[in-house]
Structure formats: C-alpha cells, structure tokens
Chains A and B, each alone.
Chain A
C-alpha cells in the first residue's frame, strides 16, 4: 500500500531521523590514537634497528617486517581484531593491519581446507592491495620517468 506523496515524504524523514549516523568525531579520535600508537611502536622498532647500525632509510623495510610479525601474532591471539573494533582505520591502515587482513580471514577459513581455505583467503584483502599498489606504482613511475626522469 502506497501512501500519498506527503505521507511518503513524512516517512522518508522519519527514517532519516532514526538511521544510525556515523560518529565522525569519536571514530576520528579513536583512529588518531590507534594509528598514532602503532606508528609510535614502529618508531621504537626503527630506532632499535638503527642502533644496530642501519641508516634510517634502510631500516624502514625491516621495521615494516617486524611490525608485520607483531600484527600477525596479535591477530592469532585475537587481540588485534579487538583493537580494530575501537580504532577502525587506525588499526586497519598501519602495516600491522595489513598483516591482520592476511591472518584474520585465513584463520576463519581454515576449516575449508589448507589450500582453498586458509591459503586462498589470505589474499582476500592483501591481494587487491598488492594488485592496485603494483599497477598504480608502475604507471606512476612510468609517467615520472617519461616526463622528468627517475
């Protein structure tokens, strides 16, 4: 049963009033604190690696590797997904979140087998990240080399 246009309009407004609105400020503050905290840990790891005699530039990738290790372990313990519930993109965007995006679905789909479950689902998010990362990086680098040189 369709109401009159006026009734529909009233209903639409009522729905709009009661639909959950994203809590922009709260989410942003939590993302800031979460992402900041992970970066802080990363900075500490990086400082440690530099003290072993690496330059800060060379230390970036080993730091990322250590953070991936930490992120994978915390996901296995079930801590990282809990952290992600609060920090949102503050947990997902750091490289620890990339590790989480690999471990979390592969754990969940383990029961579907070690090949088509655990290993295939590892890349449900990491796959697109690598694909779009590589494609964009290739064309961005190509354009840069053609226009201004490396």
Chain B
C-alpha cells in the first residue's frame, strides 16, 4: 500500500509539473523553481506534511519537498533557538542532501566524460 501511494502521488505531482510545462511558455528550470517555491508555501500553510504522511517517498522525492524541508527546518530551529534559527534552520535541515549533491556532482563530472 505504501508503495502504491508513493507511485501514485509521486506520479501525480510530476503530471502537474508536466502540464505546467506544456501549457505555459516556462522552461523545465522555471517549472522546477516554481514547484520548489510552491512546496515551501504549502509547507508553511501546513498542507505538505499531511501529504508526506500519506504518500511517504511519493511526497518527499519530488522537488516541492525541498521547499518543505527548508520551511520545516526553519520552523523547528525557530522553536529551539529563536529568530536566528529561522535563518539557519533551512540549510541545516537540507545540508546532507545538498552536500551529497555537490560532492557527487563534482566527482561524477570529474570521472565521466560528456557523450556526443
């Protein structure tokens, strides 16, 4: 059941992005930026966490969850250490994935060569 919900919700979020891409002049990069921002807003409104509880990876794998992780990190850190936490909490919560992305990006680009 967990797997089915992950597939369906993850798929539906991508369909929403695909329709946005096809129906507007936006590029894929614009759609990614838009969905991250929408994820952050949905998270602050308390709408994204229920989706995560329902769909698991179906909600945490698509990019809106990056916005969600930033907002939740900021709010958690605000509870612990006040206003400075609101600033530091976002990157703190996402530092693992971001650091892996940068190190892996660096190593992959170093090792592999572009194809024609």
Closest to A40 in B: B7
Which positions 86-111 of chain B face chain A at CB distance < 8 Å?
86-87, 90-91, 93-94, 96-98, 100-102, 104-111
Interface of chain B, main secondary structure: helix
Taking the nearest CB of chain B, how far is it from the CB of A28, in angstroms?
5
> Measured between alpha carbons, how far is A9 from B63 in the docked complex, in Å?
43
Closest to A37 in B: B7
- When distances are taken between beta carbons in the complex, the residues of chain B under 8 Å from A38 are 10, 61
A55 at the interface (CB under 8 A from B): no
> Measured between alpha carbons, how far is A68 from B100 in the docked complex, in Å?
7
Closest to B4 in A: A40
Interface centre among B22, B55, B104, B105, by most chain A C-beta atoms within 10 angstroms, is: B105
- When distances are taken between beta carbons in the complex, the residues of chain B under 8 Å from A107 are 108-109, 112-114
Contact at A95–B112, with CB atoms within 8 Å?
no
Q: Check A39/B43 contact, CB under 8 A, given A64-B60, A107-B112.
A: no
Q: Determine which of B23, B74, B110 lies in contact with A141 in the assembled complex, contact meaning CB atoms within 8 Å.
A: B74
Q: How many residues of B contact A (CB 8 A)?
A: 76
Contact at A93–B40, with CB atoms within 8 Å?
no
Contact at B105–A106, with CB atoms within 8 Å?
yes
Closest to B112 in A: A76
> Measured between alpha carbons, how far is A128 from B61 in the docked complex, in Å?
19
Which positions 18-56 of chain A face chain B at CB distance < 8 Å?
22, 24, 27-28, 30-40, 42-47, 56
> Measured between alpha carbons, how far is A57 from B76 in the docked complex, in Å?
13
Q: Check A36/B29 contact, CB under 8 A, given A89-B14, A98-B101, A107-B108.
A: no
Q: B residues near A, CB below 8 A?
A: 2-3, 6-15, 17-23, 28-29, 31-33, 35-37, 40-41, 43-45, 52, 55-58, 60-63, 65-67, 69-71, 74-76, 78-79, 86-87, 90-91, 93-94, 96-98, 100-102, 104-115
Q: List 22 A-B contacts (CB under 8 A).
A: A24-B22, A32-B11, A35-B10, A35-B12, A35-B14, A35-B62, A39-B61, A46-B60, A56-B56, A60-B60, A63-B57, A63-B60, A87-B14, A93-B63, A99-B101, A102-B104, A106-B109, A132-B36, A137-B40, A138-B86, A141-B86, A150-B76
